[in-house]
Amino acid sequence: MRILSGIQPTGMPHIGNYFGMMKPSIELQDQGEAFYFIADYHSMTSLYDAQSRREYTQQVAIDFLACGLDPKKAVLFKQSDVPEHVELSWILSTVCPMGLLERCTSYKDKIAKGLSANHGLFAYPVLMAADILIYDADSVPVGRDQKQHVEVTRDLAGKFNQTYGETFRMPEPRFREGAGTVPGLDGQKMSKSYNNTVEIFGEEKPTRKRLMSIVMDSRTPDEPKPDAEENRAIQLIKLLADEATYREEVEKLKAGGYGYGDLKKRLFELYWEYFREARERRSELMNNLDYVDTVLAEGAEKARSIAREVNQRARKACGLE
């Protein structure tokens, strides 16, 4: 089985990225041939600072490795080191009906959030389809918000195959059980573009402050909270704690006499503990950046040899060769 996923270098990776994409990807590295890339071409649709792009690209690689990506098992690379993605994206765009892109909600959401309506942002699902199809991927571990993009990918693979003959393998999205969309500090989807994130490796003080700033309702500590499961802090605790701890926190809120301040302190403790080991690995990696560069360079070479082959298959199918 071939597994593939990507993450954009548009900010520091956050716990939404971790539970939605990084953790499932790391778990899958034992189950097949895994390819994970840093989507720097994609990041150009919303980030316009060259130095930030370089830094975030390196940070995403470091965080992924710190969280347990093993470069002996999974191929980690930077998207733009494999420029064949862009050629395939053009090829696919010629079989992509406008309506398919017009229906994509993530484009509309991003425009509503104030991102500029450029062509790259609109055409982004086509590049994503190329990213996936160029590795003959079977399985794509992503957060729920990417479901529609994987559907576009399947549509485009079908359209191309229908037009030029069987060329691409049909990928399946893979969502992590129970981890729909991780809510951000403001209750919306946690996202680097919405300034509502909890970084995986945030510094202690600022992260505590951020978690303490989660806005709650105005009920007093004494009041029982029968809707405890809806609470934002509780939803994060569900991801960070074992089942028994989670239940305990829910019951305390339901019973009353447990204030939001104490709840948020508990949330911070659980978060800090959850990433403790990874944090140690990360500080070693930060002192060994040459190693990180080598992982990416070797990854690019492995990825490129497959991408070249599949891209050539597509070129032949449509008569470019």
Q: Which residues carry out catalysis? A: 110, 189, 192
In sequence order, what are the residues at sequence separation of 6 or more whose Cβ sits closer than 8 angstroms to the Cβ of residue 47?
9, 10, 53, 56
Q: Does 150 bind ligand ADP (CB under 6 A)?
A: no
- Residue found under tokens 């998207």: 79
In contact, 193 and 115? CB cutoff 8 Å:
yes
CB of 197 vs ligand ADP, minimal distance in Å: 7
Among ligand ADP, ligand TRP, none, what binds residue 132 when CB lies within 5 to 8 Å by partner kind? ligand TRP
Measured from the CB of residue 175, what is the shortest distance to ligand ADP in angstroms? 9
Given the rule CB under 6 A, which of 91-99, 124-132, 276-284, 302-310 is the region that contacts ligand TRP? Answer: 124-132
User: Which residue do the tokens 């402050």 mark?
Assistant: 209
Strand partners, 5: 36
**In the complex, least distance from residue 20 CB atom to ligand ADP, rounded to whole angstroms:** 2
Q: Among residues 59 and 146, whose Cβ is nearest to ligand TRP? A: 146
Distance CA 251, CA 232 (A): 15
Residue type, 16: G
Q: Which of 3, 15, 28, 39 forms a contact with ligand TRP (CB under 6 A)?
A: 39
Where b means 16+ CB within 10 Å and e means fewer, 255-278 reads eeebbbeebbebbbebbbebbeeb
Our finding on whether 5 is near ligand TRP (CB under 6 A) is: yes
61/317 with CB nearer ligand ADP: 61
Query: Strand pairing partners for 78?
Result: 38
Q: Please give the size of the binding site for ligand TRP, defined by CB under 6 A.
A: 14
By CB under 6 A, residue 137 contacts ligand ADP: no
Name the strand (E) or helix (H) holding 172.
Answer: strand 172-174
Interface with ligand ADP: number of residues (CB under 6 A):
19
| Count of Cβ atoms closer than 10 Å to residue 210 Cβ | 17
Query: What is the radius of gyration, based on Cα positions, of the chain?
Result: 21
Question: Does 53 interact with ligand TRP (rule: CB under 6 A)?
Answer: no
Q: Are 178 and 24 in contact (CB under 8 A)?
A: no
The residues in 14-53 that bind ligand ADP, with binding defined as CB under 6 A, are 16-17, 19-21
3-state secondary structure of 66: helix
Among 45, 92, 137, 143, binds ligand ADP (CB under 6 A): 143
140 touches, from ligand ADP, ligand TRP, none (C-beta below 5 to 8 Å by class):
ligand TRP
CA distance 20 to 4: 14
Residue 181: name its binding partner from ligand ADP, ligand TRP, none (Cβ under 5 to 8 Å by kind).
ligand ADP
User: Which of positions 173-232 make contact with ligand ADP (CB under 6 A)?
Assistant: 181-182, 189-193
Candidate segments 64-72, 139-147, 212-220, 308-316, binder of ligand TRP by CB under 6 A: 139-147
Which CB, 95 or 198, lies closer to ligand ADP? Answer: 198
Q: How is residue 197 annotated by DSSP?
A: -
Site for ligand TRP in 174-233 (CB under 6 A): none
CA–CA dist 31, 143 (Å, integer): 19
- Ranges of H-type helices in 75-164: 84-93, 98-102, 105-112, 119-133, 147-164
6 binds ligand TRP (CB under 6 A): yes
Binding residues (CB under 6 A) for ligand ADP: these are 7-8, 10, 16-17, 19-21, 142-143, 145-146, 181-182, 189-193
Binding residues (CB under 6 A) for ligand TRP: these are 4-8, 39, 42, 128, 131-132, 140, 142, 146, 149
